[in-house]
Homo-oligomer: A and B are copies of this chain.
C-alpha cells in the first residue's frame, strides 16, 4: 500500500524507477565544472532558432528526444509528460512538446518544477495508473532576463545577491518497472512567504520554503539528514543556502551534508556568477546528469532532492507584493 506518512509526505510502495534521463546546456554550462555530465552542450544561445523563446522550446524538445533515445524508447511508449517552465504561459514547454503527441499535464512551480513534475509523475505511476511518464523542465538566461528583469542587450548591472539563470533543460523518464535510481518518497510543499520583496534576492525568499518542506520530510519520515548522502536543494545559491543552514539549525535539524545545484553548476568566481545559478533548468540539468549518474554508479545511495521556487511575477512585484516560495522534495535511492 502507498502510504501517507504525515500531511505532506507520501511513501511509494512500488517506487518508480528512472530508466532514462538527459540534459542539455548552453555556453556557461559548458564552461562550468559539471560540463562532463551533460548529454548536449550548445554554444549557440538560439539553439538554431530565431528567438530565445523558441530556443527554450528547442532545448526541451532535445532533452526529451535524447532521454527517449538513451532509454531505447519511442514517444508512443510514454503515457504522459509532466512539464513546465518559467515563461509566461509556459510556452517553452507547450511548443517544445507540440510535435511529440504525448499526453501532457502542464505545471507551474517556478524553479521547484523539477521536483513537482517528478512528484506527480511518481504518484501517477505508483497509483497504478501509468507505466511510463516523463518529468521535464527548462530555463534560458536570455528569456528569463527579458521577462523578469531587463532584456540582455541593455547590459544591466547585476546586484551582488543576483543569480544567473541557467540555460539548460533536463528530462527524467520514470517507469513502474525497470532498473535505475528509484523515487521512494515525495513531500509536497506549502507556500511560505516571510516577507522578502527583493526580486534580486531569490535565495532569501526561497530558503524558508526549503526549511519548511525539509523539516516536514524529516519529521514525517522520522529520519535525520545524516540518513542520506546529501540533501540537495535546487537553486538557493550562496546566500539562500547560508540562510537555509541557519534556519535548519534553529529547527534543531542541522544539515551537515547540504548541496545546492545553484552552487554546483558554475565556477562562481571564475565565471563571475555572483550568488550562483538559478532557474528551473539548473536543478533539472544537475539532477539529470550529475546526480542521477552518481546514484546509478553507486557514488551515492540516497539523495534528498528538494528544488525551491519563487512564485512571484513582475506584476506582483510592481504591485508591492512580497515573494512566496515553495519547495517540493523527492527522495531518490540508488538502484538495489
Contact = CB atoms under 8 A, between A and B. Distances in A.
Contacts of A173: none
A8 interface: yes
Nearest to A53: B315
A40 interface: no
Interface in A51-66: 51, 53-54
A91 to B, nearest CB: 5
A50 B51 CA distance: 36
Contacts of A91: 311-313, 315-316, 321
Contacts of A94: 191, 311, 324, 326
A191 B104 contact: yes
Nearest to A78: B7
B311 A101 contact: no
A143 to B, nearest CB: 9
B123 A87 contact: no
A130 B8 CA distance: 9
A130 B188 CA distance: 11
Contacts of A189: 103-104
B116 A127 contact: no
A95 B323 CA distance: 9
B103 A89 contact: no
B326 A188 contact: no
Most buried by B among A54, A105, A131, A311: A105
Given A90-B108, A104-B326, A316-B53, A128 B2 contact: yes
Contacts of A103: 7-8, 188-190
A56 to B, nearest CB: 11
B97 A4 contact: no
Contacts of A3: 128
Given A79-B7, A95-B321, A188 B104 contact: yes
24 contacts: A2-B127, A10-B129, A10-B130, A51-B319, A54-B319, A87-B313, A87-B315, A88-B314, A89-B110, A89-B312, A90-B311, A94-B191, A94-B311, A94-B324, A101-B191, A104-B189, A105-B107, A105-B109, A105-B120, A106-B107, A106-B311, A120-B120, A120-B124, A127-B128
Given A2-B128, A98-B193, A102-B190, 19 more contacts: A2-B127, A4-B129, A7-B103, A8-B103, A50-B319, A51-B319, A53-B316, A54-B319, A89-B311, A94-B311, A98-B191, A101-B190, A101-B191, A105-B109, A105-B188, A106-B107, A106-B108, A123-B124, A123-B127
Interface of A: 1-4, 7-8, 10, 50-51, 53-54, 76, 79-80, 84, 86-91, 94-95, 97-98, 101-110, 116, 119-120, 123-124, 126-131, 188-191, 193, 311-316, 319, 321, 324, 326, 328
